[in-house]
C-alpha cells in the first residue's frame, strides 16, 4: 500500500546552500517490533548497587571476626575501586618466616689428599719463623685480652679485635682496640659498648677498614650477646657466626684464643695465598672456606691452632702479596713451586763493577741521594730509570764513584 508523503523544506542552520526536507505527517512503520512489551507491575524489584556493597562489607567483617584465619575476599566499592586500595588504608604486610642460618661445614665429603713433602715445608717455615718477629706476634688478636682482668672481658676483647681486623693491618687494629677501650671508660666489655654512643665508637675505630659498618656490627653484636648469651662470648662456631659481622675465620680464631678450643682452622688472606703458592690445593682453592676444608682434610689436628699464626707472620714478612722475598726464603730450594727463579740473580758477576749514582736538584745542588748497584752493561738503563723516577733531567746526574768488585 502506497501512501503520499508531504515534505516540508527548511534551510540548513549550518549552510545556506543546503536545504533540509522533513515529513509533515508522522508515518507508522509497516514492520512491527518482535519485542514483548512488559508492564512495570510484572518486573521484580532489585536493590540498589550501593546497598549490595554495604551488605557485602558487613558480611565480610562478620566472617573475619568469626574466623580470623580465613582469607578475605576483596569487595568492590560503589565507584569500582577495590577496598584494599582505597586511599588512607595501609597495605597489609607480608609475614615472612625467619631465615634459618646454615651450619658451618666442618669436613669435605671427599677428603683432599695430603700434598707431597708438606711436613718438610711446614717445618722449614716454622724454623724460619723462629728468627722473625712479625706484626701478628706483637699486635695480633691474642694480645687484646692481655689488657683486661675479667676473663669475660678478655674473651670479648678478642672477639672485638677480630671483628676489626678484616681488611685491616695488625698495627691499625691494635691501635683501634686500644683507642676504643679508652673511649668507653678503660674496660672493653659488652655493657660499656652498649652504653657508649655510636659516634664515640666510630671515632675510636675510624682508621680501620669499613669502620662505619663495623661500628654498627659491634653495637648489634653486643646487644645480641647480652640478650642471648649472658654478655659472654659463645662457645660454638654456629653461635659465633650468628653475630653480625662475624664469619667462620673470626669464629674459629675466637674459639682458639678465647676458649682454647680446637674447632677448626682460621683461614685469612695470608693462609689462603701461601698454601696456594705452595701447591697444597689441587685444583687451586678459590675461597678461604675451600682452603679451610682442604687443609682440615689432611693436616694433623694438633697443628690446626698454630697454622694461622705461623703463616700470617710468614706472609707479613717473607711471602708477601706483592714482590715476595724469595731470595730470603729457604723454600725456594725446591720446596715452593711458585718461587721466582730470578730471585738470587742479583749478585754481581766476576769482573762487574758497582756503580754509585747521585741525583742532585738543579738549584740547590743537594737533593735526594740514590744508590743503585747494577752490572756495568746496565749502567745506561739505570740512569734513565733514575731520571724518570726522580723527575731529574739526565744531564743533572753526576757519576761520582766507580769501584771494582772481584777481578
pLDDT at 2: 56
Interval 210-219: pLDDT, tens: 999 999 999 9
Per mean pLDDT, which range of 20-24, 124-128, 156-160 is the poorest?
A: 20-24
pLDDT at 32: 58
pLDDT at 30: 54
Per mean pLDDT, which range of 64-78, 124-138, 175-189, 347-361 is the poorest?
A: 347-361
| pTM given for the model | 0.63
Q: Domain 118-317 sits in which CATH superfamily? A: Hypothetical protein; domain 2 (1.10.340.30)
Peptide bond into 283 cis (omega under 30): yes
pLDDT at 225: 98
Average pLDDT rounded to a whole number, residues 294-322: 98
pLDDT at 19: 82
Who wins on pLDDT, 270 or 406?
Answer: 270
- How do the domains of the chain map onto residue ranges? 118-317, 353-404
What's the mean pLDDT when you consider all of the chain? 79
Task: Give ∠ CA 337-343-348 in degrees, rounded to 5.
Answer: 150
Catalytic residue among 37, 214, 249, 325: 249
Interval 358-383: pLDDT, tens: 333 334 333 333 333 333 444 444 44
Give the pLDDT band of residue 346 (cuts 50, 70, 90): very low
Average pLDDT rounded to a whole number, residues 285-314: 98
Q: How far apart, in Å, are the Cα atoms of 322 and each of 33, 127, 276, 317?
A: 99, 23, 15, 11
Q: In the annotation, is 249 catalytic? A: yes
Amino acid at each position: 500500500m502506497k501512501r503520499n508523503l508531504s515534505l516540508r523544506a527548511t534551510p540548513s542552520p549550518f549552510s545556506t546552500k543546503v536545504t533540509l526536507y522533513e515529513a509533515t505527517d508522522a508515518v507508522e512503520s509497516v514492520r512491527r517490533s518482535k519485542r514483548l512489551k512488559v508492564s512495570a507491575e510484572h518486573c521484580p524489584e532489585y536493590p540498589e548497587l550501593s546497598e549490595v556493597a554495604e551488605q557485602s562489607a558487613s558480611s565480610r567483617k562478620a566472617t573475619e571476626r568469626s574466623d580470623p584465619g580465613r582469607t578475605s575476599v576483596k569487595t568492590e566499592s560503589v565507584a569500582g575501586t577495590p577496598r584494599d586500595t582505597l586511599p588512607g588504608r595501609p597495605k597489609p604486610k607480608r609475614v615472612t618466616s625467619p631465615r634459618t642460618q646454615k651450619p658451618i661445614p666442618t669436613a669435605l665429603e671427599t677428603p683432599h689428599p695430603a700434598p707431597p713433602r708438606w711436613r718438610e715445608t711446614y717445618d722449614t717455615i716454622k724454623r724460619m719463623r723462629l728468627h722473625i718477629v712479625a706484626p701478628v706476634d706483637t699486635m695480633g688478636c691474642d694480645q687484646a685480652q692481655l689488657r683486661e682482668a675479667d676473663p669475660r672481658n678478655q674473651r670479648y676483647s678478642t672477639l672485638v679485635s677480630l671483628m676489626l681486623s678484616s681488611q685491616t693491618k695488625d698495627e691499625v687494629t691494635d691501635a683501634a682496640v686500644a683507642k676504643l677501650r679508652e673511649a668507653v671508660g678503660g674496660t672493653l666489655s659488652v655493657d660499656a659498648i652498649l652504653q657508649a654512643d655510636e659516634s664515640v665508637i666510630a671515632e675510636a675505630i675510624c682508621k680501620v677498614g669499613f669502620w662505619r659498618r663495623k661500628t654498627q656490627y659491634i653495637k648489634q653484636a653486643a646487644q645480641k650477646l647480652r640478650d642471648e648469651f649472658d654478655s659472654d662470648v659463645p662457645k660454638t662456631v654456629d653461635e659465633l657466626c650468628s653475630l653480625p659481622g662475624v664469619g667462620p675465620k673470626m669464629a674459629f680464631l675466637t674459639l682458639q684464643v678465647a676458649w682454647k678450643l680446637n674447632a677448626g682452622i682460621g683461614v685469612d688472606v695470608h693462609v689462603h695465598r701461601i698454601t696456594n703458592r705452595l701447591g697444597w690445593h689441587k685444583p687451586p682453592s678459590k675461597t678461604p672456606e675451600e682452603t679451610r676444608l682442604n687443609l682440615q682434610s689432611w693436616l694433623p689436628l694438633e697443628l690446626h691452632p698454630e697454622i694461622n699464626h705461623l703463616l700470617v707472620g710468614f706472609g707479613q714478612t717473607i711471602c708477601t702479596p706483592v714482590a715476595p722475598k724469595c731470595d730470603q726464603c729457604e723454600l725456594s730450594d725446591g720446596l715452593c713451586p711458585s718461587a721466582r727463579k730470578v730471585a738470587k740473580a742479583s749478585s754481581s758477576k766476576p769482573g762487574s763493577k758497582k756503580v754509585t749514582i747521585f741525583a742532585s736538584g738543579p738549584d740547590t745542588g743537594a737533593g735526594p741521594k740514590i744508590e743503585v748497584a747494577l752490572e756495568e752493561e746496565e749502567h745506561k738503563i739505570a740512569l734513565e730509570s733514575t731520571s724518570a723516577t726522580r723527575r731529574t733531567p739526565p744531564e743533572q746526574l753526576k757519576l761520582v764513584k766507580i769501584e771494582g768488585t772481584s777481578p
